[in-house]
Structure formats: structure tokens, C-alpha cells
Amino acid sequence: DIQLTQSPSFLSASVGDRVTITCRASQGISTYLAWYQQKPGKAPKLLIYVASTLQSGVPSRFSGSGSGTQFTLTISSLQPEDFATYYCQQLNSYPLTFGGGTKVEIK
């Protein structure tokens, strides 16, 4: 199975900050990676798929990059509604797997 390691697991940031979250895969997965945002008590929301394609309706301050084993999610200017937990997920092969999550909190 493909393991995904996210870092950091927790980060504290201020509104307007640039935030970067990293996801590392245990083996190469090309660009078969997605990112989700989840707020407490809610279902996750798809942000990005195939590493860098923005899902319809997602603000352009979110961007993704990477290929192979190293991926990043960047929020260019953190907004109040962005405080949430973010997960990466590999699309390469079954069983599908998620990273452990990164909780973004207000500094």
C-alpha cells in the first residue's frame, strides 16, 4: 500500500499569511494526488486533483504542485474561512490512502 506523510501535522498562521503543506508518498505516484479541506463536523471538500488542477468553485489562492513522491498545497493568502484540516489522498492505486492531515489554526 502507498503511505502518505503530511507535514506539518499542525500549523498556526495569521490571516494573510502564505501557507505551504507538504505530502510525501512512499513510492512514486506521478501526479495522482488530490487535496481536501475539512471543517469540524462537515464532510471533506475537494480542492485540487491530479496534483495541480483546481476543482470548480475553489478560490484561486489555493494551488497544488509536485509529482512523483513530493507534493505541496499552497494557500497564497490565508483567509478566515481557510482555518480547517487539510488532507492529501493518492489516486494512483487501490487501496486509496490519505495523509494524516494538517490542522491549520489561527495564530
Partner 1 sequence: QVQLVESGGGVVQPGRSLRLSCAASGFNFNTYVMHWVRQAPGEGLEWVAVISYDGGEKHYGDSVRGRFSISRDNSKNTVYLQMDGLRPEDTAVYFCARDRCFGCRSFDWWGQGTLVTVSS
Query: What is the contact surface with partner 1 in residues (CB under 8 A)?
Result: 1, 32, 34, 36, 38, 43-46, 49, 55, 87, 89, 91, 94-101
DSSP at 87:
E
The minimum distance between CB 57 and partner 1, in angstroms, equals 10
| Cβ closest to partner 1, residue 11 vs residue 17 | 11
Q: Which is nearer to partner 1, 29 or 75 (CB)?
A: 29
- In degrees and rounded to multiples of 5, residue 36 shows phi and psi of -130, 155
Taking the C-alpha atoms of residue 30 and residue 12, their distance in angstroms, rounded to an integer, is 30
- Is it true that the peptide bond before 95 is cis, omega within 30 degrees of 0? yes
In this complex, which beta carbon is closest to partner 1, that of residue 1 or of residue 105? 1
